[in-house]
Amino acid sequence: MLTLVTFIAVLGFLIFIHELGHYMAAKHVGVRVETFSIGFPPTIYGKKVGDTEYKVSWIPLGGYVRLFGQNVTDEDPEDPANYASKSILQRIYILVGGPAMNLLFALVCMPLLYMIGIQSPAYLDEIPKLRDVVQGGIAEKIGLQANDQILAVNRSEVLNWRSVNQEIGKGLSNSRLNLEVERKGALLNFEIPLQELQQQRQMGWKPFITPRAGGFTSTSPAKEAGLREGDLILSINGNSVRDWSDLIPLIQESQKQNQENPSETAEKIVVEFERSGDVQFAEMMPYFEKEAGLWLMGMSMPTMNKNYGIQESLSMGLQRVWQLTRATFQFLGQMLSGQGSMDDLGGPIRIGMVLGDAAKSGISNLIFLMAFISLQLGIFNLLPIPALDGGHILLLGFEKLKGAPLSTIFRERTQMIGFSVLIALMLFVTWNDLIQLFQA
């Protein structure tokens, strides 16, 4: 129920934002708005105020603003309130209004998110010490080793992983990136190949993460056995736990007799942990997670809420919007070139599930997803596909090149083709969501 309510509320609000952009732009240039609808028919409730009928409809997968003269049947270039009477730039202005509102909402929400505070892994505030380096990664190539501690990035002192990430981010715009590292009491300097880092976007190192209990799943064996947030895990079945990454291998090792038949009853494990200086023991039976193919205790690493000042939030929020925009176009490029997977496309079911999870996990996650979805709506609607805003803008571009309105038959056919493509895509992603849901 929470998932359903969140899905309808969030999607309805973002659709309202989008259609409000079209509505305000149309009113600004003097076009009469005949209908403002959130959702598609049949209508739940409608009321006419002035020239406009405001409606809420049953199907919450979109909405529309019907403008006087936007359909080929009611075009009247002589009527100043008619859409067809407006210049090409004014019509483009109306069409861009919807996506622009979605993009503006994302630009406002992201900085707000950083001001409210975002949940981030607690290890980001720990000493930047390497547990290991990834074979073939940048860290290994330049000579970094396990147990190295990073002291400075480009001569700026770093006290935790958060500041390491921030300084490396700043360094990406410089001509060089240098690390000062302590190794067994010796100070060493390493030069990071900027071009390679810009391509891979990761250093290829693994930080030390204290094996402390964070959150728990709803059916967590660890929680049922008495573990609490903040407990420090010391060992599993007598095997020492030094780092968070030690947990999963040790749990799998404890269940090696059940690896081929995970439906069998799990082997009981003994977890040694420390709480407020006292060492205690707990017995529990891990569960098998089919999707991950792993035995788990139902426990996550600690997180913390981190907020920032206005200036820093604005900078980080705008940077995040830019990163997501760039990633979106990279994904679209991969799909068009055949390098992407259709399984990566998500429909309304997957969006609803993600929104439901975000609503359960906290307001910051929900705000981020609202901003992210709004950004996607803005970008997607500007794609040059007939029946979308971008498709209408493309036709106006052809009209400008031709120097005269396009034929009615051509416009009707292109809109019908575009609408058919969108319906087919919607059916496909919904079917894809259902398959993945039942497989899970």
Same domain as 263, residue 199: no
Q: 11 and 112: one domain? A: yes
Lookup: tokens for 279: 């060492």
Question: What is the average pLDDT score of the chain?
Answer: 86
Closest CA to 135 of 201, 204, 194: 204
* Residue that is last in its domain, among 263, 281, 301: 301
Q: Tally the domains of the chain.
A: 3
The confidence score (pLDDT) of residue 334 equals: 73
410 and 426 co-located in one domain: yes
Rounded CA gap, 144 and 19, in Å?
53
User: How far apart, in Å, are the Cα atoms of 143 and each of 66, 80, 137, 191, 306?
Assistant: 63, 71, 10, 10, 33
Catalytically active residues, by annotation: 19
Q: Are 140 and 204 in contact (CB under 8 A)?
A: yes
Once rounded to an integer, what is the mean pLDDT over residues 229-237?
94
**Over the stretch 239-298, which tens digit does the pLDDT of each residue have?**
999 999 899 999 999 888 766 666 667 889 999 999 999 999 999 999 888 877 889 999
> Are 103 and 160 found together in one domain?
no
Same domain, 192 and 237: no
Please report the pLDDT score of residue 192 as a whole number. Answer: 87
Q: What is the pLDDT of residues 26-40, one digit of tens each?
A: 999 999 999 999 888
Q: Are 364 and 109 in contact (CB under 8 A)?
A: no
Do 168 and 231 fall into the same domain? no
The confidence score (pLDDT) of residue 239 equals 95
Tell me, yes or no, whether 313 lies in a domain: no
Q: Tell me: the pLDDT tens digits for 150-208?
A: 999 999 999 999 899 888 877 776 777 899 999 999 999 999 888 777 777 789 899 99
Q: pLDDT > 70: what percent of the chain?
A: 90
In this structure, of 75-79, 157-161, 172-176, 218-222, the range with the lowest mean pLDDT score is 172-176
Which structural domain range is residue 165 located in? 122-207
Nearest to residue 179, comparing CAs of 214, 138, 209, 220? 138
The answer to whether residues 9 and 59 belong to one domain is: yes
Using a pLDDT cut of 90, give the percent of the chain over it. Answer: 41
Domain with 254 in it: what CATH number?
2.30.42.10
Of 330 and 255, the one with more pLDDT: 255
